[in-house]
Amino acid sequence: MGPLLAALGLDPRQSLPMRILVVGSGGREHALAWACARHGSAPEIVCAPGNAGTAELGANVAVPVTDGPALTRLAREREVDLVVIGPDAALAAGVADACHAAGLTVFGPSAAAAKIEWSKTHAKQIMDRAGVPTARWCSGNRESRSDLFDFILELDGRCVVKADGLAAGKGVAVCDSREDAFAALAACLNERRFGDAGDAVVVEERLRGPEISIFAVCDGSRYRLLAPARDYKRAHDSDHGPNTGGMGAYAPADDGCPPLVEIAEQVVEPTLAALADAGTPFVGCLYVGLMLTADGIRVLEFNARFGDPETQVVVPLAGPGFLDLLLAAARGELTGAGPPPVAGAAVVVVAAAQGYPAAPRTDDHITGLGDIDDDVLCFHAGTARDQRGRLVTAGGRVLGIVGQGADVATARHRAYQNLERVHFAGMWSRSDIAILPAGVRR
């Protein structure tokens, strides 16, 4: 069958519906599953564990995202063609390694390559080795804390104190004074507020400027860039309130952004080369958190996965060929140079549950999704079906409403217009997502 199809110019792998396993349960994973499902070949989607939104695209299977053996068993039973891993915890737990060992095709880096996210010291070492522009830094632990004290004094407290390991987005303290910085250091090293993740600490120079997120789909040596995005991490308008997983995002965020080719040359290419040289080639999505400072771009962090909620806006702009891109990267076969065409703009506004981020309330009945316009997307995050089959809240970030349009202003209007049609008790959102600085129009 294969040779015959090949002789006819058909790819035998395209002749049967593909099966894709998406690992994770957030808005990012619903967006990734949706992007795979819209491929021309109408692939079958399995999500582990998924949410009420992914259940509408295919099958949800209740397997924890860090259980490599159970996930590989599931992938083999369902004969999946590609495993797409969403969350950092799954990567750090070695789920991609387990998939490789089982002979599966997987989009997501090995735990060793993902260390660029789960150890900030390692990320800084790679940045230095690659010559990537970043803030001056110092790392240490309880034993070497005098180095950290000295560096804080040198910076006169205007620094950022970061727990080395994964701390659910809470391990970073942006400090204005020596007192703040010493308190943040004590929270990691003495109080052990972040557990093992804070046993080592990175202190770095505090920079200023707008931030953007760059996503490079990588096959170990080659890459393709997606649209740059900007997310909103604070809970309330004008960037007030506590940090969250992200209350909204827009793309493309190219206002004030240098040409993508410059970012690729200064950051993505040397980083991929350094990772390959270290014996940890990176296959997956390299997420570059950048600050645009008066002195040029500076890398704040790397993540080894797609961003959430940035994926919800980047993926709709990547077109129906997105799955081909993931497959090519996972197979080490990326071709072509330059970013794919970006048509228009997209804005996501997150509808959060009462009490988020401290203590989100669950089990509130969600209504109004049927009233959302056809060209507006609704990605589920913390949603589930109750015993009566009703859609209910099941997490802090509940839904992301994605408007699209020729420019950010139009996309924003579409997102907020449709958000008003959705209801659940205690629902709240930011009202200033994607309001661009005066004079910028896209």
Is the Cβ of residue 300 or residue 398 nearer to ligand AMP in the bound state? 300
Q: Which of 161, 300, 317, 392 binds ligand AMP (CB under 6 A)?
A: 300
Is the Cβ of residue 82 or residue 288 nearer to ligand GLY in the bound state? 288
What is the DSSP annotation of 20-33? EEEEE-SHHHHHHH
Instruction: Considering only residues 169 through 208, tell me which ones interact with ligand AMP, judged by CB under 6 A.
Output: 172, 174, 204-207
Q: How far is residue 356's CA from residue 27's CA, in Å, rounded to a whole number?
A: 16
Is the Cβ of residue 81 or residue 301 nearer to ligand GLY in the bound state? 301
Both tokens assigned to 234: 């604070």
Q: How far is residue 84's CA from residue 71's CA, in Å, rounded to a whole number?
A: 11
Kindly tell me the sign of the dihedral angle through the C-alpha atoms of 337, 342, 322, 71.
positive
Under a CB-based contact definition with an 8 Å cutoff, are residues 27 and 380 in contact?
Answer: yes
Instruction: Considering only residues 210 through 239, tell me which ones interact with ligand GLY, judged by CB under 6 A.
Output: 231
Instruction: Considering only residues 233 through 272, tell me which ones interact with ligand GLY, judged by CB under 6 A.
Output: 246
Least Cβ distance, residue 291 to ligand AMP (angstroms): 6
25 near ligand GLY, judged by CB under 6 A: no
Least Cβ distance, residue 142 to ligand AMP (angstroms): 21
What is the DSSP annotation of 199-241? SEEEEEE---S-EEEEEEEEEES-EEE---BEE--EEEGGGEE
* Phi, psi (deg, nearest 5) at residue 81: -90, -25
Q: Which residues pair with 301 in a beta bridge?
A: 289
Is the Cβ of residue 100 or residue 206 nearer to ligand AMP in the bound state? 206
* Phi, psi (deg, nearest 5) at residue 269: -65, -50
Q: Which of 29, 164, 219, 301 binds ligand AMP (CB under 6 A)?
A: 301
Strand, helix or coil at 382? coil
What is the residue type of 332?
A: G
Is the Cβ of residue 162 or residue 222 nearer to ligand AMP in the bound state? 162
Residue facing ligand GLY at closest CB distance: 307
Is the Cβ of residue 160 or residue 419 nearer to ligand AMP in the bound state? 160
Least Cβ distance, residue 115 to ligand AMP (angstroms): 15
Is the Cβ of residue 289 or residue 368 nearer to ligand AMP in the bound state? 289
* # binding residues, ligand GLY (CB under 6 A): 6
Least Cβ distance, residue 176 to ligand AMP (angstroms): 11
Q: Which does 263 bind (CB under 5 to 8 A by kind): ligand AMP, ligand GLY, none?
A: none
Instruction: Considering only residues 224 through 283, tell me which ones interact with ligand AMP, judged by CB under 6 A.
Output: none
Q: Which does 286 bind (CB under 5 to 8 A by kind): ligand GLY, ligand AMP, none?
A: none
Q: Which does 72 bind (CB under 5 to 8 A by kind): ligand GLY, ligand AMP, none?
A: none
Q: How far is residue 437's CA from residue 288's CA, in Å, rounded to a whole number?
A: 22
Under a CB-based contact definition with an 8 Å cutoff, are residues 47 and 381 in contact?
Answer: no
434 near ligand AMP, judged by CB under 6 A: no
The closest alpha carbon to 350, from 228, 440, 236, belongs to 236
Is the Cβ of residue 18 or residue 167 nearer to ligand AMP in the bound state? 167
Least Cβ distance, residue 209 to ligand AMP (angstroms): 8
Q: How far is residue 80's CA from residue 83's CA, in Å, rounded to a whole number?
A: 7
Is the Cβ of residue 93 or residue 348 nearer to ligand GLY in the bound state? 348
Q: How far is residue 166's CA from residue 303's CA, in Å, rounded to a whole number?
A: 11
Instruction: Walk across the sheet containing 200-205 and list its strands.
Output: 137-141, 200-205, 159-163, 172-174
Among the residue ranges 263-271, 300-308, 344-352, 403-411, the one whose residues contact ligand GLY (CB under 6 A): 300-308
162 near ligand AMP, judged by CB under 6 A: yes
CA atoms within 13 A on the CB side of 424: 28
Helices 120-130 and 111-118 pack at an angle, to 10 degrees, of 100
* Phi, psi (deg, nearest 5) at residue 166: -70, 125
Among the residue ranges 198-206, 259-267, 305-313, 378-386, the one whose residues contact ligand GLY (CB under 6 A): 305-313
Q: Which does 160 bind (CB under 5 to 8 A by kind): ligand AMP, ligand GLY, none?
A: ligand AMP
308 near ligand GLY, judged by CB under 6 A: yes
* # binding residues, ligand AMP (CB under 6 A): 13
Binding residues for ligand AMP, per CB under 6 A?
Answer: 135, 160, 162, 172, 174, 204-207, 211, 289, 300-301
